Chains A and B, each alone.
Chain A
């Protein structure tokens, strides 16, 4: 594809080099030809996409386009789309046709984007490899024997595979950043509350946050600008005007103070990834930043705290899947209990059940104080660590993942080893902060991600730093061999 990024496509559309319909058709064809292997889409919405593209062409012809008019997009299948199957990667919702659009979907529709389809994901966003999906694993476009990461694995893979320039994701413990890192793309998890959660199927309500994924930080900025904003349908949505994340992309980063948190560079980190990050550090310094070591003393508690808070909230959020009002229902229930127990046993996969059991345990009488309340106190400690460190530095730099993409099936037998894949990403969700992952190089042909973390509402700064970095590097422009 001649025009790989959203930014390139914008100018091609505006100058008439290509029409939105042609652009859409190009991607639909690629998906048709190649997604059998990658499995990044659960649903491809061809006619819907072509209709939207046609409408976008009319807007462009009238010279009334915005920055996103006619740009193709893949929506994670966690976002409700009116009349279009929304499964959340689960058998439970295999037949679910939402009667409404998620706010994110509404906003991106209104911005003139063209939805190509709904992407594969770990079931109810619970997973770090996209192997828990009812619709089968997604393959990493860089190596089909490897995972793309998760839970937004389909979104990351379809961008890396060249099926779409842009996708949406959601991030509860790293679900945007980890697959972005493993697939060699850019993705940002915004500050909690910046993007509405209405219509985004809940996993852990106090952690879930939607964000954009794309090849470049610049592309992410344009999509984020359209996604964020107060929504009175979501009580946790923040009532504040969105910072302008696009106009400061090119700002100089001279004098930027970058913190290197000790716990990000510990023994768990693959030394080759550490080497990639040394280069990132050198590049940022060349651009005028200064790097200092900082500490986040409670960082090591983030995974255990997360695996109490997230399952606890999930166990409650997933109680509505009971076979009564929508979704899967078991055959011939003999009693009310039988209806509940079999519907949920048959409709949910193994990972979801594990988390429901753990979450039920953490909230149950006798364990609540020791686990759930304790974990919420730890959240405060972790959040305070960040507050303290951001008094000294502007952003934090670290790896996104401890290793590059692992093999399909490698960690499915041991859930805890799977969870430890998120050691660098989870703390950010517990504190509600923004963080992005961007390509930082390759190890044996597999992408490596760098992670930038900022204080609340610092999306513009994070995207600015990543954009400046991408102006002088080309990791983000690499594509897997076809």
Chain B
């Protein structure tokens, strides 16, 4: 793993990495990826990829409204809120 790659991944994962720790993080993550690289040599031709431990299908819920407003409880948890809205630094969607 290159340092630049780690920085790109950190950007994707929205983690600010300060320069002092970037190299350490690169070393550690490289080791983990190297550990995982053992898998490359295994022949898995035709082996299905497991997503869930059991072969069961998705249970379904009736289409009913079961929840009423919990706005006050939500706002009590929110780090920044006003008039029932969660606040974030300005979202710029325009060109």
Residues on A lying within 8 angstroms of B by beta carbon are 96-97, 99, 191-193, 206, 232, 235-236, 238-239, 298, 301, 303-305, 307-308, 311, 315, 319, 322-329, 333-342, 344-345, 348, 353-354, 356-358, 360-362, 364, 370-371, 373-381, 383, 414-416, 419, 431-433, 456
- The winner among A319, A357, A377 for most chain B CB atoms within 10 A is A357
Chain A residue numbers with a CB within 8 Å of B16 are 341-342, 344-345
When A96-B77, A354-B28, A376-B50 are in contact, do A308 and B15 touch as well, CB less than 8 Å? no
Name the one of A191, A329, A342 contacting B79, with C-beta atoms under 8 angstroms: A329
A-B contacts, 16 of them at CB < 8 A, read A99-B77, A193-B53, A232-B59, A238-B56, A303-B35, A307-B36, A324-B86, A325-B74, A336-B89, A336-B91, A353-B25, A361-B33, A374-B42, A378-B44, A416-B32, A419-B35
Name the one of B39, B48, B56 contacting A375, with C-beta atoms under 8 angstroms: B39
Asked whether A326 lies within 8 Å of B77 as measured between CB atoms, the reply is: yes
Chain B residue numbers with a CB within 8 Å of A298 are 42
Asked whether A376 lies within 8 Å of B49 as measured between CB atoms, the reply is: yes
Asked whether B88 lies within 8 Å of A324 as measured between CB atoms, the reply is: yes
Q: Who on chain B is nearest to A372 by CB?
A: B49
Asked whether A358 lies within 8 Å of B17 as measured between CB atoms, the reply is: no
B3 contacts partner chain A, Cβ-Cβ < 8 Å: no
CB distance from A403 to the nearest CB of B (A): 19
**What's the tally of chain B residues with a CB closer than 8 Å to chain A?**
50
Asked whether A354 lies within 8 Å of B36 as measured between CB atoms, the reply is: no
Asked whether B14 lies within 8 Å of A337 as measured between CB atoms, the reply is: yes
Chain B residue numbers with a CB within 8 Å of A322 are 14
When A325-B86, A377-B47 are in contact, do A415 and B28 touch as well, CB less than 8 Å? yes
Chain A residue numbers with a CB within 8 Å of B73 are 99
User: What total count of A-B pairs have CB within 8 Å?
Assistant: 167
Chain B residue numbers with a CB within 8 Å of A373 are 49
Asked whether B15 lies within 8 Å of A192 as measured between CB atoms, the reply is: no
Asked whether B1 lies within 8 Å of A361 as measured between CB atoms, the reply is: yes
Chain B residue numbers with a CB within 8 Å of A324 are 78-79, 86, 88
Asked whether B89 lies within 8 Å of A353 as measured between CB atoms, the reply is: no
Asked whether B42 lies within 8 Å of A380 as measured between CB atoms, the reply is: no
Name the one of A99, A235, A338 contacting B58, with C-beta atoms under 8 angstroms: A235
Chain B residue numbers with a CB within 8 Å of A335 are 89-90
Chain B residue numbers with a CB within 8 Å of A432 are 52-54
- Cα of A432 to Cα of B29 in the assembled complex, Å: 27
CB distance from A101 to the nearest CB of B (A): 14
- Cα of A298 to Cα of B42 in the assembled complex, Å: 10
- Cα of A345 to Cα of B89 in the assembled complex, Å: 18
Asked whether A333 lies within 8 Å of B89 as measured between CB atoms, the reply is: yes
Chain B residue numbers with a CB within 8 Å of A339 are 88-89
Residues on B lying within 8 angstroms of A by beta carbon are 1, 5-6, 9-10, 12-18, 25, 28-29, 31-33, 35-40, 42, 44, 47-54, 56, 58-59, 61, 70, 73-74, 77-80, 86, 88-91
- Cα of A336 to Cα of B58 in the assembled complex, Å: 36
CB distance from A306 to the nearest CB of B (A): 9
CB distance from A307 to the nearest CB of B (A): 5
Asked whether A305 lies within 8 Å of B39 as measured between CB atoms, the reply is: yes
When A307-B35, A357-B6 are in contact, do A325 and B44 touch as well, CB less than 8 Å? no
CB distance from B71 to the nearest CB of A (A): 12
- Cα of A379 to Cα of B39 in the assembled complex, Å: 11
- Cα of A370 to Cα of B41 in the assembled complex, Å: 10
- Cα of A311 to Cα of B9 in the assembled complex, Å: 13
Chain B residue numbers with a CB within 8 Å of A308 are 36, 39
Q: Who on chain B is nearest to A384 by CB?
A: B47
Chain B residue numbers with a CB within 8 Å of A337 are 14
- The winner among B50, B54, B74 for most chain A CB atoms within 10 A is B50
- Cα of A324 to Cα of B86 in the assembled complex, Å: 7
CB distance from A435 to the nearest CB of B (A): 13
Chain A residue numbers with a CB within 8 Å of B13 are 315, 319, 344, 356-357, 360
- Cα of A191 to Cα of B80 in the assembled complex, Å: 41
Chain B residue numbers with a CB within 8 Å of A381 are 42, 44, 47
When A192-B54, A376-B50, A431-B53 are in contact, do A348 and B15 touch as well, CB less than 8 Å? yes
Asked whether B31 lies within 8 Å of A416 as measured between CB atoms, the reply is: yes
Chain A residue numbers with a CB within 8 Å of B38 are 301, 304
- Cα of A213 to Cα of B20 in the assembled complex, Å: 41
When A301-B38, A358-B33, A415-B31 are in contact, do A338 and B54 touch as well, CB less than 8 Å? no
- The winner among A96, A235, A329, A358 for most chain B CB atoms within 10 A is A358
Chain B residue numbers with a CB within 8 Å of A354 are 25, 28-29, 32
Name the one of B14, B25, B28, B33 contacting A340, with C-beta atoms under 8 angstroms: B14
Chain B residue numbers with a CB within 8 Å of A193 are 53-54, 56
- Cα of A344 to Cα of B37 in the assembled complex, Å: 28
